[in-house]
Amino acid sequence: MAKKEKAQAAAGEAKPAGKMKLIILIVVVVLLAVGLSVGATLFFLGKSDTDKEAEPAAAAAPAVPVKQPAIYEELVPAFVVNFTHQGRARYMQVSVALQSRDQVALDALKVHMPVLRNRLVMLFSSQDFDALLTPVGKDMLRQQATASVQELAQKETGKTVVEQVLFTNLVLQ
């Protein structure tokens, strides 16, 4: 019996040592795999010699102009237009804001505000009531208003001052 106990004790000691070697081997393989993946990532995504040569050329090129912050000009009072739909009088009230990025050009356009307001009133009053009830119809009207204002700005100031026309309030009755 003593021989069996000694054999089991020797086998029991050998098994944990074998398991320990297996665990160490697995840890080493995982660390090696992680190290290789990090190295490969740095190699493929790192800067190469051609990128270093391109940097001075890019620095010598003129800088792209930075986009200026938006400036909003509310057109007050709000536009109120009437039109007839199926024999009934309908009304539309629209509050409009102009988005621009050039204050000087926007001030130059303000001189022509009566013409601009006239164009927008004529545009708004020529719309179909049913079309304005849908979001697509409202967006189409906004795009038409933007095109009309940009056309006037191009004609009077020589550049499209207004980036877009925004409806801050639109009521249909």
pLDDT along the chain (173 residues), means of 10: 55 65 90 85 70 54 73 92 86 94 91 94 90 92 94 90 93 90
pLDDT of residue 144: 95
Q: Please give the Cα distance from 103 to 54 (Å, whole number).
A: 37
Are residues 77 and 145 part of one domain? yes
Q: The domain containing residue 165 runs over which residues?
A: 71-172
d(CA 6, CA 55): 73
Q: Whole-prediction pTM value?
A: 0.60
Residue 117's domain is classified under what CATH number?
A: 3.30.479.30
Please indicate, yes or no, whether residues 78 and 156 belong to a single structural domain of this protein: yes
Q: How many domains, in total, are found in the chain?
A: 2
CA–CA gap between residue 82 and residue 93 (Å, rounded): 9
Q: Find where tokens 């089991």 sit.
A: 8
| Confidence (pLDDT) at 2 | 53
Question: Do 39 and 92 belong together in one domain?
Answer: no
Task: Look up residue 37 and give its two tokens.
Answer: 């993946």
CA angle, 142 as apex, 136 and 146 as ends, to 5°?
Answer: 145
**Dihedral in degrees, nearest 10, Cα atoms 49, 52, 54, 60:** -160
What local confidence, expressed as pLDDT, does residue 81 receive? Answer: 92
